[in-house]
Amino acid sequence: MHAVEALNLTRVFRTRRKRPGLRGALRDLVQARVETVTAVREVSFTVEAGELVGFLGPNGAGKTTTLKMLAGLLHPTTGTARVLGYVPWERADAFRRQFALLLGQKNQLWWDLPARESLELNARIYGVPPDEWRRRVDELTGLLEVRDKLGVMVRELSLGERMKFELIAALLHRPRLLLLDEPTIGLDVVSQKIVRDFLRAHNARHGTTILLTSHYLADIEALCRRVLIIDHGRLFFDGPLADILGRFADHKLVTVHSPAAPFPPARLVGLGEVLENAAGRVRLRLRRDQVVATCKRLLEAFPVQDLDIEEVPIEDVIHRLFTRGTAAPSPSGEQVPRRE
């Protein structure tokens, strides 16, 4: 049985659009202008037990809406899903005790309580025995390096500390499924790494299925072998993270190390896009099918000490996917319009 199975999930929102001015307001009283927005459109995928899957997409792509449907907070307009064997929006008590949803900008801790008491309240809600929750709190706070903050009021914690305690609260009842929406948003680099290392270790130790959305590609690269990419509500990629480079990165980066650099710009014409031409180093962006021939020309034309050939960083590839004006293929073969 799949941990998560989504089949043609679609969610349509109806929103009222106000007309400008007094006359517009009077017209709205008689006949409101209603618009429909399709946030998620026929999204289908499965996640196996124990998988750690990245869920990528620009703002407004439909990621959070999808997670909320999988958590049972939203009913789909059409389509269905089974999560841990349950239909999530039926909100069965047994289902609610087996998953956790953590939204990066939402709080589940009580701001006017010390962190320890807020965690104790969460543990009691889920029926975790006192000895067990104390052991788990001791373990989790140690791993996330916030044990010394247990007596601090939640409102007085830093953003990074509060996010770590939110993660601890989500894991106190040992959920089989963890839905994470931007868990490292706003955190400093050190805190991001601590959270990433913790999630990787927790997944390996407990086999918790994790579906993770993030705008930080470092999170995805560090944690996820498989990614789902969604835009305009449609899922258009589902596969290994490494395959994104193979399918969508049509360029490579070539760095030339030479004592003669910078080279005269005229001599670089026709050798690709020049990204850098500085003392001792020239950096070019080349189409994949031009790499071999261009490197040969560079070796013949310049005194080269070293030559590096790299893939385009995954973050740049994702950025280009979400900002280019061309169309990307959806699973059904349709062309999905890109944002300009």
- Which domains are seen in the chain, by residue range? 4-245 (3.40.50.300), 250-311 (3.30.70)
- 272 within 8 A of 254, measured Cβ to Cβ: yes
> Measured between alpha carbons, how far is 40 from 61 in angstroms, rounded to an integer?
8
- How far is CA 184 from its chain centroid? 10
Arithmetic mean of pLDDT, 131-140: 94
> Measured between alpha carbons, how far is 5 from 45 in angstroms, rounded to an integer?
6
Arithmetic mean of pLDDT, 3-15: 94
In this prediction, residue 296 has a pLDDT band, given cuts at 50, 70 and 90, of very high
pLDDT score, position 324: 57
Q: Which residues contact 133 (CB under 8 A, 6 or more apart)?
A: 119, 120, 123, 172
| 11's tokens | 């969610």
pLDDT tens-digit profile of 264-286?
999 999 898 999 999 999 999 99
Quote the pTM value. 0.76
| 8's tokens | 């043609």
